Structures are given as C-alpha cells and as structure tokens.
Amino acid sequence: MTAADMRRVGVVGGGQMGAGIAEVCARAELDVLVCETGARAAAAARERIAVSLERAVQRGKLDRISAEASLARIAVTADLTDLEDRQLVVEAVVEDTVAKTEVFAALDKIVTDPEAILATNTSSLPVMRLGMATDRADRVVGLHFFNPVPVLPLVEVVTTLHTSPAAKHEVTDFATRILGKSVVHSTDRAGFIVNALLVPYLLSAIRMTESGFASAADVDRGMELGCAHPMGPLRLADLIGLDSVASIAESLYEEFKEPLYAPPPLLQRMVAAGLLGRKSGRGFHAYDRGGEPR
C-alpha cells in the first residue's frame, strides 16, 4: 500500500488530540470516521472539530468553503466495528496501557484489510505492547502528533522491533506528502524524542514552583524573556494537560528509574484535584471558557 492509497482513515477517540488528527486528515481531503464511546461523545467530537475549523476561518488560516468541505468529510460513530473498511486507523484514547491494548486487540479483529496500518498517538507508552495485542505487529506504528494538531507541524514516527520497513515508509510518506507534516523517526522507548527531552524540563519548573523558589508567573516569564521561548514551561504544561504530563512522567520513570522523570507531588495533587490546565480552566494559570489566559 502507498500513502496515496490511504484514503479511508479511522480515528479512535475524539478528544483534543483525536479531533485534531481527524481535522488535519479531513483538510487533506481524506474520508474520516471518528469513533467515540457513545453517541453523545461522538457528537461532541464532531462539534469540537467544527469549532476548530471555524476558529481557523476566523483567523484567516482557512476559507469557509474549505472548512465546510472538510467537516463534510468527517463522520462519527459509537460503534468500533464501523472501522472495518479503514486503511489507516489512529488510536487516540486515554493514555492508559490497558485501554489502548483493548482497542488494538479489537481493531485487529475488526479491520479487514491485512495491509491496513494500525497506529497509536501515544506520547510515551510502549508501542510494542500494543502491537503484540494484534496478529499484525509488523503493521503497527507510533504516529505521535503534537497539540494543537492543526497548527504544529511535527509528527514522530515510532517503530518497534516488529514494524516492517514498508509500514515505516508508508506512514512517513502519508504524514509528509498527504498531511504536509514534518517527520522525525524514533525507536520505541518511553517519551520517544520530544517528550524524553521536554518532560524533565517541565518537571523541573514544577519542582521550582513547588519549593517556593519562584512563582509560576516568574518561572514562565523568565524562560520566555530570558531564553526566547514562545511559552513558559508551566503554561506549556497547562496546554499539554497536567494529567498527560503526569502520565508521560510516570512512563518515563517506570522505564528509566531516573529521579528527574518522577512526577513531583504537586503535580500529582493537582491532577487528583482536577486542576488539569487549560482544558479544565485552571492549572498553574487560570483560563476562560475559550482556553485563553485570564
């Protein structure tokens, strides 16, 4: 199968990442089917995509005709078996090994094309474990997008010991030629490239705030103005989602047992309290309903 043959794309999970992946695929003129856990969640996923497309129109990044055509290419379902005819399925459910493994085991039985690629958008979990839940581990890859997916240009293509060279080539070609993304390649290790470098930096900023050494505002301002970073580490953690940061940190620590990867107590308490950052309206900073800083 070539990248040009991948016209029917499935996305499992319609949250922030899944909706973004569905949107970029639809904007690339692909037939997209998003699967969620129920009818209400599926409708919410479609609305999430519609809002993102409208935002692109308002910001002059997309014309209205293209936005409406993109939305028309997206269907939603609450039945995983509807993905049977997909040529590429991207899993984007909660960052939990058990949940993701169950999805891959089910997709292996549902997706009929033996040449179809099953991809995971995991940011840190072992791709090998997901591949081994199927009978087609050679067609399982990591396809890690970054948030917000319609804006950020990078995709990490992650291969396991079983991933075939053909599958690696096909998804790389798909991400670059069809979606217009830039690709970096990583082998299957916790955090891959970007998060293995980024997360210790974010955790260090959290520990600095936790200790009372500096406020969240000053930590962020220091890195923005002193190092020319477009966004400070704590505001970036809020954007990613503090639950996601904690989950990635736990995966990194489990694999490497290095103290710098361990999630700080403050981060764990904030997650337990539902203070997840931008998506919940409050993290290290406060946000309005549109996700803009207050």
Is residue 144 annotated as part of the catalytic site, yes or no? yes
- The beta strand positions in 46-139, using DSSP E, are 74-77, 88-91, 117-120
Residues 37/78, Cβ–Cβ less than 8 Å = yes
- Catalytic option among 123, 244, 247, 251: 123
CB half-sphere exposure, 101, CA atoms < 13 A? 9
- Phi first, then psi: give them for residue 65, nearest 5 degrees: -60, -45
* Helix then strand then coil, % of the chain, to nearest 5: 50, 15, 35
- Catalytic option among 156, 162, 170, 251: 156
Is residue 195 annotated as part of the catalytic site, yes or no? yes
Is residue 285 annotated as part of the catalytic site, yes or no? no
Residue 105: in which H helix or E strand, if any? Answer: helix 97-110
Name the residue among 108, 110, 109 with its Cα closest to residue 118. 108
Residues 182/154, Cβ–Cβ less than 8 Å = yes
CB half-sphere exposure, 227, CA atoms < 13 A? 10
- Catalytic option among 195, 244, 247, 251: 195
Name the residue among 144, 137, 152 with its Cα closest to residue 95. 144
Residues 257/264, Cβ–Cβ less than 8 Å = no
- Catalytic option among 23, 70, 95, 144: 144
Q: Which two tokens stand for residue 117?
A: 């690629």
Q: How far apart are CA 247 and CA 124, in angstroms?
A: 8
Catalytic residue list: 123, 144, 156, 195
